[in-house]
Amino acid sequence: MALVTGAAGGIGEAIVRGLAAAGFEVAIGYHRSQAPAERLASDLQGGGHFAIAAPVTDSAALARAAAELDSRCGRCDLLVNCAGTTRFVAHADLVGLDDTLFDSIFAVNVRGAFAAIRALHGLLERSTQPGGGVIVNISSIAAVTAMGSNVAYCASKAALDNMTRSLARALAPRVRVLSVSPGLVDTEFVKSLDPAWRNEQSARTPLQRLALPAEVARAVVAAATQLTFTTGSIIAVDGGRPLS
């Protein structure tokens, strides 16, 4: 079984659907989006799916989620840390990136991922799937390019990739840890932005388009089921964007 945090968002939903199609029972983790999470659970291929409260900035709530997973399933084969937050602030606007926003980005994108891993570690160690339990952190090429919605967001994704490598070493051999690092993903939110800007981002990408949510999902499924001798790696789904 798999737990996906931030599962009600555009990328999260695609990951959940991809995992269900691959045969996983999926726990759809949510913070405030209980109703969308429950609707998603009822709409998935296969059975055994359910919504679960998993706010990543609340360690006590994550401990309760882990206890519920233990009671229902007795193990966790895959944790996908998809919960994330950001807001557009120009990189030169140092005042606009205030302390509250900076701290909230790191609380969700970095500490939240660590807190979820800490809560689920014991259940991941019980996985019987080939390659053992797996953690997939959803990162971003902003970690490498330092171009993204704001300075703190880019730094948070770099920290997430570094933590991926640290924990891959620390949790081996029972649990593998990887990052999936997309470029700009063509979610409904991105489609709602200025078309000229979106087209410019596509043109700057060697493959001349944006990533699809389903392509991110396929990378997560592959990391969990196919790349059984891979840990500590950052898997790019970016169309070659850092090359341009």
Instruction: Estimate the crossing angle of helix 151-171 against helix 112-124, to 10 degrees.
Output: 20
Q: Which residues face 50 on adjacent strands?
A: 27
DSSP strands (E only) in the chain: 2-5, 26-30, 50-53, 78-81, 133-138, 175-182, 234-237
The rounded distance, in Å, linking the Cα atoms of 155 and 51 is 31
Sheet holding 26-30, edge to edge: 50-53, 26-30, 2-5, 78-81, 133-138, 175-182, 234-237
DSSP strands (E only) in 33-132: 50-53, 78-81
How many Cβ atoms from other residues are within 10 Å of residue 244's Cβ? 10
User: So which residues are the catalytic ones?
Assistant: 153
Per DSSP bridges, beta strands 50-53 and 78-81 are: unpaired
Q: Which residue has the tokens 């593998």?
A: 176
The rounded distance, in Å, linking the Cα atoms of 107 and 104 is 5
